Structure 1
Amino acid sequence: MTTPKGEARRDAIVAAAAQLVADHGPDAVSHRAVAAAAGVPLAATTYYFRALGDLLVAAVTRVGETETTAAAAAVAALPTGRRSTHDTAVVVLDVLLGAGRQTDEQLQAHYERFLAAGRHPALRPVLAATRARVDQLLAQVLARGGHREVPVARLVALADGTALSALVEGGGGARAATEDAVAELLSRRRRW
């Protein structure tokens, strides 16, 4: 049976690992890095998470839950009614990428999570569940903003592709380039 102190320590370890994932991507997670970030002895991380993969799953799960909870609250607060394509694009990216993610480094850490699923198959169901929840929230954003005709899958593919291409090209404008591409898609669909 786990004690309250043990539960608190485990939670601190998961929170520290989640912050590393959010800030730097899954490859930043190691027992040593998490112990330092959580302010606990290295033995504590290996006690609660013998396998690094288990710690990584817990961290990615926490990041996904935190982000989708914040996005759901933001979507619930959106007024219903037509919004400009640019305003809708900003909300779409806040839901898809996270409201606080503005820099290329932050966007890269976001996409590193999804790319890590190739190296860590245990992350796949966690990431798929997070993405399914994000897709539901995006559908709500589009419906509330008068953009029901836009397919969520196409919107996500465009946003992800644009962001990744902009990250590869460099220059520091991945978020702005993605906002522009999403706004253009929304504008075109509205004219059809």
Structure 2
Amino acid sequence: MSRRQEIADVAIGLLAAEGMRGLTHRAVDRAAGLPEGSTSYYFRTRQGLLQAAVERLAEHTATEIAALKQRLQVSATGREGLVEAVAWLVGQWLTASRDRQLARYELSLEATRRPELREVLAANRAHLRDLVTGLLDASGIPDADLWAGDLIAYADGLLLDRLFTGDPGAAVPDLRPKIRALLATVGER
């Protein structure tokens, strides 16, 4: 992992733990155990640091989607395989990747006030939509491009609800029935 990635990961952790106000160059230096000024050397501005965090989140998401694709190849085919894979991914986001998801929501809210950050997030979201479209298509879902946005929005809503109302240490509830119900409606429009 490069120093830039390390700094971006620390920034993501700070965003999750302390929100936007807790993210400063000095705070990243302290949390990463780096000499003061190190973060500023790699990312001169706050915008640069925020953009690095967004880009690093996109890298993590791409890795998770690749793991999701692998699970689809190993698991059942069709909709049931997709149900299992999506439930696994949302479960990962609620546990192992919880901090990254909290940081993503922080950055998404900040992007409503920063057009330059919104552009980066929009590009990453478009890439995610392409990946999800491919997963739906590979699972035999008709009109996959039309349904990808709905699946992302549903997963986002489910994730946000669980992040805000769930106990971080509690077991993740079985999400398969909810995802199965959503996918059952696919193609009925």
TM-score for the superposition, normalised by structure 2: 0.72
Structure 1 residues without counterparts, runs of 5 or longer: 1-7
Q: Note if contact 1:139-1:148 (Cα within 8 Å) is conserved in structure 2.
A: no
Aligned equivalent of 2:86, options 67, 87, 92: 92
Report the Cα distance in structure 1 between the residues aligned to 2:175 and 2:109, rounded to whole angstroms: 19
Aligned counterpart, 2:45: 51
Structure 1 residues 130 and 10, CA gap change in structure 2 (3 angstroms):
closer
Structure 1 residues 40 and 90, CA gap change in structure 2 (3 angstroms):
same
Report the Cα distance in structure 2 between the residues aligned to 1:88 and 1:157, rounded to whole angstroms: 16
Question: Is 1:182 the counterpart of 2:179 in the alignment?
Answer: yes
- Write out per-residue CA displacement over residues 8-65 of structure 1, whole angstroms, 9 at most, x where no aligned residue: 65454334324444x5486242112210222212222223323212111112112212
Report the Cα distance in structure 1 between the residues aligned to 2:106 and 2:87, rounded to whole angstroms: 17
Structure 1 residues 137 and 92, CA gap change in structure 2 (3 angstroms):
farther
Q: Note if contact 1:91-1:141 (Cα within 8 Å) is conserved in structure 2.
A: no
Aligned equivalent of 2:29, options 31, 35, 39: 35
TM-score for the superposition, normalised by structure 1: 0.71
Structure 1 residues 82 and 12, CA gap change in structure 2 (3 angstroms):
closer
- Write out per-residue CA displacement over residues 86-132 of structure 1, whole angstroms, 9 at most, x where no aligned residue: x423423556x5x6322495443442232221233322122112111
Structure 2 residues without counterparts, runs of 5 or longer: none
Structure 1 residues 70 and 108, CA gap change in structure 2 (3 angstroms):
closer
By how many angstroms is 1:177 displaced?
7.6
Aligned equivalent of 1:75, options 69, 73, 90: 69
Report the Cα distance in structure 1 between the residues aligned to 2:29 and 2:113, rounded to whole angstroms: 23
Aligned counterpart, 1:163: 159
Report the Cα distance in structure 2 between the residues aligned to 1:91 and 1:171, rounded to whole angstroms: 21
Letter paired with 2:156: D
Q: Note if contact 2:4-2:42 (Cα within 8 Å) is conserved in structure 1.
A: yes
Question: Is 1:154 the counterpart of 2:150 in the alignment?
Answer: yes
RMSD of aligned residue pairs (Cα, Å): 3.5
Question: Is 1:111 the counterpart of 2:108 in the alignment?
Answer: no
Question: Is 1:120 the counterpart of 2:117 in the alignment?
Answer: no
By how many angstroms is 1:181 displaced?
3.0
Aligned counterpart, 2:134: 140
Count how many residue pairs are aligned between Structure 1 and Structure 2: 180
